[in-house]
Structure 1
Amino acid sequence: MPVPFETGLPGDARYHELAALFRPIFARIGEDALRRERDGVLGREQLRWLTDAGFARLRTPVALGGFGARLSDLFLLLAELATVDVNLAHIWRNHFSFVEDRVHAGDDPRSAVWLERLGRGEIIGGGWSESGALTQSTIETTITPVDGGWSVDGVKYYSTGSVYATWFTVLAVDPEGTKVIALVRADQPGVEIGDDWDGFGQKLTGSGSVTYRAARVALDDAIPYESRYTYQSQYYQSVLHSLLVGIGRALLRDGVAALRARRRSHDNGTRAEASADPQILEVIGRVSALSFAAESALAQSALQVDRYVDSGSDADRQASWLAVAQAQSIITDAVLESATIVFDALGASGTSETIALDRHWRNARTLSSHNPRIFKLRLAGDALVNDADPTAH
């Protein structure tokens, strides 16, 4: 029986029709993903395969040449891509966030221009967090008017997708202290991209620092932060869930393959062949159950996000936030447990650098550290017990 590869809710023909366009490319990307991760090779060529196939147009409206996909479609497709290459899947997080901005602001004349441009495959990188800031909301990067446009100065870190980016969406403050999103061209003299991410996972996502020194921005390419879409939290967290679900499914795939290839058993085992030992088979069964739980949590929470995107109601806003927070706990726990117990089925051979199973734990632990689940669980509990609005934070 093959290890499941496809995601999507049973009977969702719309999703599977869309996914069928990209699955051959995902399979091709997976052919040398392990080698690229082991050797530290960036997936530039693989990214081009995706953009040539129109992956960047998933959320672009059909009227503008896109697929008009639902957010849930995007999340589930990212999970399929993450199953074969979680680094390549991660670089789309900031890109599709800006696409969401422009889809949300459909009456802004700039939106159609940007959606068409991004649909051609120009990639958006992030410019949000600042490593020296006391809190995430502290912004020291500035944007000032100059010569009929703008100038951006500052340093950003955790700039996912930076080494692949054509543009950066940079969070800055103007002279009045108002938050602004500046669209900064990546290849100009005032931008210095440092591929210096020092985390032990997600090494090939281009998540290091980007320095802006009088980087120029066109007059119309500075957008008020307050105009952004209202479900940013649900979006950003759900993408991380997609990546984790992909890792969970890769753990199952690689665990099954490694156990099938294992020729030795342990003296304390119950069978001469490890693949026939019921205790070892139980471990793989447990990994499969954890993967199923994670994928189910992603799918159900994604539907709640779709519902809010469609309705815009306050009730759906809070329900979608709560669903994503609950999914975060389930998915994080499930994938981290899988990444640990899979080694119980493989013995010392499971630690071989040839199969690099440790990459799954390192990548999952790194992704899970972006937004600690303990805080989300506290807010969820406060909402349920005290009717607090979790989206107010």
Structure 2
Amino acid sequence: MPAGPSYLEPGTAAIADLRGRFQPIFDRIAEGNVARERDREFPRQQVRWLNDAGFGTIRIPQSRGGFGATLEQTFELLSDLAVADANVSHIWRNHLAFVEDRLNAEVSDTNDRWIKRFLHGDFVGGGWTEANNVTLANMVTTVTARDDHWVVTGSKYYATGSLYADWLDVIGRDERGELLTALVRADDPGVTLVDDWRGFGQRTTASGSARYDGVRAERGDVFPAAERFGYQPHFYQIAMLSVLTGITRAALRDGSAALIDRARNYPQGLAERPADDPQLLQVIGEVSAEAFAAESALARAAQSLDAVVAIRIAGHGSQVRQPLIDAEIAVSQAQLVIIASALRATTAIFDALGASGVSEGLALDRHWRNARTLASHNPRVYKARIIGDWLINGKDPVPDLVARHRGGQGV
């Protein structure tokens, strides 16, 4: 994490004001959610609505033309957006992460240009992952110096949001083997974006492949990957947890509406009207508790990242390690809670409904499919062990990304 002055400032926004601006847009996005999911229609217009309203600048301080939101407020809004459309919410993950990275960067003419690009509405997509089990340690994408610029060649998978982007965030190795991040124009003739995502969830997030064939990157748009902001892994993870929290809330909303609409009950029911049946009401109550747990865990985890930011703003970089550990534990605990809540809620809600609940018209299956897909990106199976190892043995849970870049095991 850079030691010099950054663009970060304490949050100044009020969540009520932020919701007042963006909730009407979320509501418009929600109107076509089921049809887009059913027809696999990409939400280009919906992403543009948000961009035009400045959604990509919510973390930029008000003094620099943004909204001045805290991280907790940012992830609350992402969750609200996911209630409307989980795919649209997930599309914003890469953009918001790169904005956060530039806010953490030292003030410079180059980074001033990036802040102006964000304020102008430039949108960032892309992906770091390569197919065929390639990891950071054996990355094959290259970022090669050429006179006054760089050239990027390689391919990526899980390039979420790429079809909506003006810029693509690419990671690769230079001639010395060091990992670099390069920002390239999505409309460069050497860029090929392929909609080959075949997951049963995230159908409209543009999470397919991206290929780069001698793509130009300007000198000011290439950065050492090891210098990316220190809580970057936490940010990416909690953005995904925001979407899962929104899915849980959406399952509660749609399941409740479907129960209210049920006209008849089964012979074993405890009331003639399903909405009066105590057992079915119990299901709704339990699903509401899952949504409550997810929202609470999300808030606690986000607050832990705001604590890291506060250390950075205060200029106490040497004291950031413990807050990073606290954030790692909080985000990992939140991952265990939120994934479990999302998967239980998106399954249990059908217990309150009859056979009509599986109607393609309702598309309630989209909530489970999207939740299951998101939960599979960063498997929770390892998290409880890592937390336990920290609590019992004091083993540092924060990944050493620099060691991973160089092929080491990290800590």
* TM superposition score normalised by structure 1: 0.95
CA contact (8 A) 1:64 1:112 kept: no
Q: How do 1:141-156 residues align onto structure 2 when only pairs under 5 Å count?
A: 141-156=141-156
- Please state how far the C-alpha of 1:61 moved relative to its aligned partner: 2.1
CA contact (8 A) 1:171 1:182 kept: yes
Higher mean Cα deviation, 57-66 or 257-266?
57-66
Higher mean Cα deviation, 33-42 or 84-93?
33-42
Separation (CA, whole Å) in 2 of partners of 1:306 and 1:109:
26
Match of 1:131 in 2: 131
Separation (CA, whole Å) in 2 of partners of 1:275 and 1:138:
57
Match of 2:409 in 1: none
Match of 1:300 in 2: 300
1:261-281: per-residue Cα shift (whole Å, max 9, x none)?
Answer: 111211221222211111111
Alignment: residue pair count: 382
Q: How much identity, in percent, do the aligned residues show? A: 49
- Please state how far the C-alpha of 1:250 moved relative to its aligned partner: 0.3
Match of 2:262 in 1: 262
Counterpart of 2:383 (choices 348, 358, 376) is 376
CA contact (8 A) 1:56 1:120 kept: no
- Please state how far the C-alpha of 1:71 moved relative to its aligned partner: 1.1
Separation (CA, whole Å) in 1 of partners of 2:140 and 2:56:
31
Match of 1:55 in 2: 55
Match of 2:366 in 1: 359
- Please state how far the C-alpha of 1:392 moved relative to its aligned partner: 3.2
Separation (CA, whole Å) in 1 of partners of 2:88 and 2:182:
24
Cα distance change on mapping 1:136 and 1:357 into 2, 3 Å? farther
Higher mean Cα deviation, 338-347 or 40-49?
40-49
CA contact (8 A) 2:13 2:69 kept: no
Separation (CA, whole Å) in 2 of partners of 1:18 and 1:151:
40
- Please state how far the C-alpha of 1:134 moved relative to its aligned partner: 4.1
Match of 2:248 in 1: 248
Match of 1:4 in 2: none
Separation (CA, whole Å) in 1 of partners of 2:360 and 2:384:
36
Separation (CA, whole Å) in 2 of partners of 1:131 and 1:188:
22
Match of 1:5 in 2: none
Amino acid at match of 1:143: V
Amino acid at match of 1:42: F
Identify which of structures 1 and 2 has the higher relative contact order when contacts are C-alpha pairs closer than 8 Å and 6+ apart.
2
Amino acid at match of 2:155: V
Match of 2:353 in 1: 346
1:255-313: per-residue Cα shift (whole Å, max 9, x none)?
Answer: 01000111121122122221111111100110001100000000111111101111142
Match of 1:329 in 2: 336
Match of 1:318 in 2: 325
CA contact (8 A) 2:13 2:70 kept: no
**CA-atom RMSD in angstroms:** 1.4
1:2-36: per-residue Cα shift (whole Å, max 9, x none)?
Answer: xxxxxxxxxx9822222211111111111111111
Unaligned runs of 5+ in 1: 1-11
Separation (CA, whole Å) in 1 of partners of 2:109 and 2:310:
22
Higher mean Cα deviation, 359-368 or 120-129?
120-129
CA contact (8 A) 1:87 1:203 kept: yes
1:165-201: per-residue Cα shift (whole Å, max 9, x none)?
Answer: 1111100000100000001110011000001111110
1:67-114: per-residue Cα shift (whole Å, max 9, x none)?
Answer: 121111111100000000111111111101110111001323311211
Separation (CA, whole Å) in 2 of partners of 1:287 and 1:119:
39
- Please state how far the C-alpha of 1:376 moved relative to its aligned partner: 1.7
Higher mean Cα deviation, 356-365 or 63-72?
63-72
Amino acid at match of 1:355: L
Q: SS at the partner of 2:14?
A: helix
Separation (CA, whole Å) in 2 of partners of 1:108 and 1:321:
30
- 1:43 paired with 2:43, answer yes
Amino acid at match of 2:112: A
- 1:390 paired with 2:403, answer no
Amino acid at match of 2:185: R
CA contact (8 A) 1:106 1:112 kept: no
* TM superposition score normalised by structure 2: 0.91
Cα distance change on mapping 1:195 and 1:133 into 2, 3 Å? same
- 1:229 paired with 2:226, answer no
Amino acid at match of 1:139: M
Match of 2:119 in 1: 119
Q: SS at the partner of 1:243?
A: helix
- Please state how far the C-alpha of 1:333 moved relative to its aligned partner: 0.3
- Please state how far the C-alpha of 1:147 moved relative to its aligned partner: 4.0
Separation (CA, whole Å) in 1 of partners of 2:262 and 2:136:
47
Amino acid at match of 2:321: D
Match of 1:86 in 2: 86
Separation (CA, whole Å) in 1 of partners of 2:136 and 2:382:
14
Cα distance change on mapping 1:77 and 1:136 into 2, 3 Å? same
